[in-house]
Amino acid sequence: MNKKAIIRVIGLVPCVASAGVIEVVSQDDWEGGMGKSEGIVWEGGVGTPSGESAFYRSGVKKFSEKKKVRSMVVEQSPEWLNWKKVENVGPRNAKDAPVFLSVGDKDYWLFARYGGGAVDQTAVAILRIEEKVYMRKMSREEADKKIADLRKQKPAEGKGGGFAAKDPFQTNGSGGEELGLGGYHGWHSKDMKNWVHHGPVSNGTDLSGFSCSPSMRDFSKGFTT
């Protein structure tokens, strides 16, 4: 059990009674109400593990008459109020329900719908046709004909990742200038403030899977930034 988990557990254990109220307000309360404890060092009103594991068990408070709990109030210790404000947690144009992945220290990924970027409309139209086939709303023969007609059209031009020019905390990396497919894109950051856009990671249909940008298909093998 790690240190944070232990502090969190012991922070919920009542042990001292006063005027009908059981409360924990000091280190003496913790130690006085303890039934059994191993591997915990008490200092400055905080219990921390002395090794890889530790546990705390409160003593049982006995009364001469039956009693029941009317209410319980749990307050966060000031020790936990150590948050540091960070500007721009996530790209400004990340839309819908983002997915955050912390691979390790200074290795953060964010996946969300890309707002304000150019989209390959032909590719999206083909995907929507494939979706209808998948949902059995269109025959394979009809779909192939429509897709063939779409592919006769002029290929999509331009670049994606245009929002990077509007966001001082965002740049385009590998795959960042590929045209979107109406779905989610991927961003990488080392500090949760500056983000590198790596292009589309999914399309905008109901078809499942990361079926999109070649630069993002090797997700299981890791990315290069």
The answer to whether residue 167 sits within a structural domain is yes
DSSP output for 16-42: EEETTEEE--SHHHHHHTEEEEESEEE
Count of Cβ atoms closer than 10 Å to residue 139 Cβ:
11
Cα angle 65, 69, 70; round to 5: 120
* 195 and 108 part of one domain: yes
C-beta separation of 189 from 91 below 8 A:
no
**pTM for this one?**
0.52
d(C-alpha 47, C-alpha 60), whole Å: 20
Tell me which residue range forms the domain holding 111: 89-119+157-225
| Res 102: pLDDT | 92
71-126: pLDDT as tens digits: 888 777 777 777 777 666 788 888 888 899 999 999 999 999 888 777 777 777 77
Count of Cβ atoms closer than 10 Å to residue 199 Cβ:
26
The answer to whether residue 196 sits within a structural domain is yes
Q: Mention every residue, 6+ apart, whose C-beta is less than 8 A from residue 76.
A: none
C-beta separation of 186 from 198 below 8 A:
yes
Signed CA dihedral, 148, 154, 158, 163: sign only:
negative
Residue 7 token pair: 């502090």
- Point out the domain boundary residue: 75, 104, 136: 75
The answer to whether residue 31 sits within a structural domain is yes
* 145 and 163 part of one domain: no
Q: Around 119, how many Cα atoms within 13 Å sit in the side-chain half-sphere?
A: 19
The answer to whether residue 22 sits within a structural domain is yes
* 180 and 148 part of one domain: no
* 7 and 71 part of one domain: yes
* 193 and 103 part of one domain: yes
* 176 and 221 part of one domain: yes
Q: Which element (helix H / strand E) includes 47?
A: strand 46-49
What count of residues does the chain have? 225
167-211: pLDDT as tens digits: 899 999 998 888 888 888 999 999 988 999 998 888 776 444 444
33-54: pLDDT as tens digits: 888 889 988 887 778 888 888 9
Q: Position 58: which residue type?
A: S
Structural domains in the chain (count): 3
